[in-house]
Amino acid sequence: MNRQDFPSDFIWGSATASYQVEGAAFEDGKGASIWNEFEKLPGAIADNASGDVSCDQYHRYKEDVALMRDMGLKVYRFSMAWSRIFPEGGGKLNPKGMDYYKRLCDELHDNGLEPWITFYHWDLPQALQERFGGWRSRECAKYFADYVAAAAGELKGRCDHYFTFNEFLGSTDQGYFNGVCAPGLRLSRKERNQVRHNALYAHGLGLQVLRDVLPGAKVGIAENPVFFTPVIDTPEHVAAAKKAFREVNGHFITAIMEGGYPESYLAAEGADAPVVGDGDFKLIGAPMDFLGLNIYYGRLIRSAPELPEQYEIFYDDASTVWSDCNGMFQPAAVYWGSRIASELWKPEAIIISENGTSCEDRPARDGEVYDLFRVKYLRAYMESMSRAIRDGVPVKGYFHWSFLDNLEWGSGYRRRFGLYFVNYRTGERIPKLSAKWFKELIQTCKIV
Ligand code: NOJ
């Protein structure tokens, strides 16, 4: 059969983040990040693991890029460790740290891949946490803009695609309100809302300086809003899913896409609503070239005219199958998530900037890793993505989380998300069954 499930120019990639894969935590002049500090707290990370070595991609990047080439990947999405480039958060640039990212970009190009770089994937320089309280202060956003301007200038000619931020929640609510991520604080709701706003402001400033420094570059965010799947595909339930998507995500994605907080968010927060500076939303709401969505799962929702918000979210439904550890097996989230975002805001392009699952992977007796669940997961999620494309949703790329097993934040090394298995004792990488499946997918553009 000649059918293709994806266009031949579809952008196939995979994603990682600096703290999760690099290791070399203090090498070549790198400063501490808030995660290098947070990991010292007993129990903050499962098994009290640290990112000091991790996958050691800092030293093994050539090997990893060769594996990416063999898989046929077109793109590698990775993040830069801000404190590698500015050990103190600002001031003097550390050329050795910057050089690593230049070499990585060059290696990717030499192997036929494009780098897509994330500026901020949660590892704030510790110096800025100590100096200003991190994202509690607007100062931090200004330092972010300086970092972006300097690093982007250094990367001129080497990288054309950037994400300002990855998942706002992980560096705002989870770091400053729930305390499960660095810096591990539990602040008030009002302070949390300000932290959220300061991060949005940083995104806006970062976007502006990128436009100045690299006018030809394509820029977006990688965000993980709460996604909704209508219980059945009828107009009233679809409308309910859209309304909820806009309102429930009012503090991040809606604020960015609409250039302001929706009334529902401001009303719900009342006196705790953030202080917004003059002109903030002109920056925050500036147009982007693509919208990156990290889609893992979604909640089922129904239209509920009898309720004040007019929808009801199902938090516990029998149709939900829990995957190993990281959430739910809900392939429909990709279709509905991308379709609803597209209908609401008409972004030029949507990139599924992350999707994947952790499994209890381990080598079998023959040395292979048979991650059967991940293959099943991928098949189903790819069907859902293909359906979105058929229906005209502008999904242009898919970046699998993750290329290789890595440090899964508070869960340490227990959760394995990779297409490649990593033996953390030896550093060896072993392709899982899913890596072979994904290679076939890329080669044929068919769900095999
Ligand atoms: C979200 C984050 O961006 C990434 O860092 C994390 O490891 C994956 N999803 C899996 O939880």
Q: Where are the domains of the chain?
A: 11-444
Over its length of 448 residues, how does the chain's per-residue pLDDT go in tens digits?
568 999 999 999 999 999 999 999 999 999 999 999 999 999 999 999 999 999 999 999 999 999 999 999 999 999 999 999 999 999 999 999 999 999 999 999 999 999 999 999 999 999 999 999 999 999 999 999 999 999 999 999 999 999 999 999 999 999 999 999 999 999 999 999 999 999 999 999 999 999 999 999 999 999 999 999 999 999 999 999 999 999 999 999 999 999 999 999 999 999 999 999 999 999 999 999 999 999 999 999 999 999 999 999 998 665 566 655 556 889 999 999 999 999 999 999 999 999 999 998 999 999 999 999 999 999 999 999 999 999 999 999 999 999 999 999 999 999 999 999 999 999 999 999 999 999 999 999 999 8
Separation of CA 236 and ligand 1 centre (Å):
33
- Atom number of ligand 1 nearest to Cα 296: 9
CA-CA distances (angstroms) from residue 257 to 126, 201, 268?
A: 30, 13, 20
Select from 172, 408, 413, 414 the residue to mutate for testing ligand 1; criterion: most ligand atoms less than 8 Å from CB: 408
d(Cα 284, Cα 256) in Å, to the nearest integer? 6
- DSSP-derived secondary structure letter, 323: P
pTM above 0.85, yes or no: yes
Select from 401, 406, 415 the residue to mutate for testing ligand 1; criterion: most ligand atoms less than 8 Å from CB: 401
- Atom number of ligand 1 nearest to Cα 326: 11
201 close to ligand 1 (CB < 6 Angstrom): no
244 close to ligand 1 (CB < 6 Angstrom): no
167 close to ligand 1 (CB < 6 Angstrom): yes
Name the residue with the closest Cα to ligand 1, atom 8: 401
Separation of CA 401 and ligand 1 centre (Å):
7
Name the residue with the closest Cα to ligand 1, atom 6: 408
326 close to ligand 1 (CB < 6 Angstrom): yes
408 close to ligand 1 (CB < 6 Angstrom): yes
- Atom number of ligand 1 nearest to Cα 358: 10
d(Cα 184, Cα 339) in Å, to the nearest integer? 35
List b or e across 126-156, with b for residues whose CB sees 16 or more CB atoms inside 10 angstroms: bbbbebbbbbbbbbbbebbbbbbbbbbebbe
Q: Which of the residues are catalytic?
A: 167, 354
**Spatial CB neighbours of 361, under 8 Å, sequence gap ≥ 6:** 369, 371, 374, 405, 416, 418, 421, 432
122 close to ligand 1 (CB < 6 Angstrom): no
Separation of CA 411 and ligand 1 centre (Å):
11
401 close to ligand 1 (CB < 6 Angstrom): yes
Separation of CA 310 and ligand 1 centre (Å):
32
Select from 221, 409, 411, 416 the residue to mutate for testing ligand 1; criterion: most ligand atoms less than 8 Å from CB: 409
Separation of CA 178 and ligand 1 centre (Å):
17
- The two tokens of residue 229 are 């799947």
Query: So what's the architecture of 11-444 in CATH?
Result: Alpha-Beta Barrel (3.20)
CA-CA distances (angstroms) from residue 124 to 129, 147, 283?
A: 7, 11, 21
Separation of CA 300 and ligand 1 centre (Å):
22
d(Cα 18, Cα 90) in Å, to the nearest integer? 18
Separation of CA 299 and ligand 1 centre (Å):
18
